Chains A and B, each alone.
Chain A
Amino acid sequence: MRIFAFNAPPPPDGLLRLSTPALQTLQLTHLTSGIYEEPVLPAWQACGRPTTIAGYTEWIDAAGSPATLGWDWEIRCMSGLVRWHRLSLPFTNVMLVSEDRQDFPWQHNLQRLADWVDTLAWADAIDRALLLRDSRRTEC
Chain B
Amino acid sequence: MEFITGTSHNLPDEVLVGLAQYRHEVFVETLGWDLATQAGLELDQFDRPDTIYVAAREEGRYVGIARLLPTVRPYLLGEVFPQLMGGAPPPQSEEIWELSRFAAIDFRSNVLSGPFSSPTVVGLMKAVEACALRHGVSRLITTLSSPGIERLLRKLGYLAYRAGPPHIIDGHPLFACWIELDKSPSKDRK
A66–B173 touching, CB < 8 Å: no
Q: Decide yes or no whether B82 CB sits under 8 A from chain A.
A: no
A68 to B175, Cβ gap below 8 A?
A: yes
Q: Does A84 contact B (CB under 8 A)?
A: no
B159 CB-CB contact with A under 8 Å: yes
B148 nearest CB across to chain A (Å): 8
When the two chains form their complex, are residues A31 and B151 in contact, meaning their CB atoms are under 8 A apart?
no
> Is A92 part of the contact surface with B, judged by Cβ < 8 Å?
yes
Say whether A93 faces chain B, with CB atoms less than 8 Å apart: yes
Q: Is the C-beta of B40 less than 8 angstroms from some C-beta in chain A?
A: no
The answer to whether B112 and A91 touch across the interface, beta carbons within 8 angstroms, is: no
A60 contacts across to B, CB distance below 8 A: 165-166
Q: Tell which of B112, B165, B172, B185 has the most Cβ of chain A within 10 Å.
A: B165
Number of A residues near B (Cβ < 8 Å) is: 25
Contact A68 B164 (CB under 8 A): yes
Partner of A93, one of B147, B163, B168, B172: B163
Are A106 and B166 in contact, with the CB atoms below 8 A? Answer: no
A10-43 with Cβ < 8 A to chain B: 10, 13-16, 31-32, 34, 39, 41
Contact: A31 with B162, CB < 8 Å? no
A58-B173, A92-B161, A106-B185 known; A14 vs B166 contact (CB < 8 Å): no
> From DSSP, what is the main secondary structure of chain B's interface residues?
mixed
User: In the complex the two chains form, what is the Cα distance from A14 to B164 in whole Å?
Assistant: 8
Check if B178 is an interface residue, CB within 8 A of chain A. yes
A residues less than 8 Å from B159 (CB atoms): 106
A66 with B166: CB separation less than 8 A:
no
Q: Encode contact with B along A92-113: 1 for CB under 8 Å, 0 otherwise.
A: 1100000000000011000000
A interface residues (Cβ-Cβ under 8 A, vs B): 10, 13-16, 31-32, 34, 39, 41, 56, 58, 60-61, 66-68, 70, 72, 88, 91-93, 106-107
Q: Would you mind naming 30 contact pairs between A and B with Cβ atoms under 8 Å apart?
A: A10-B88, A14-B161, A14-B163, A14-B178, A31-B168, A31-B173, A32-B166, A32-B168, A34-B147, A66-B86, A66-B88, A66-B165, A68-B162, A68-B164, A68-B165, A68-B175, A70-B147, A70-B150, A70-B166, A70-B173, A72-B147, A72-B151, A88-B151, A91-B147, A91-B151, A91-B161, A91-B162, A92-B162, A93-B162, A106-B159
The 4 nearest A-B residue pairs measured at CB: A66-B86, A10-B88, A68-B165, A93-B162
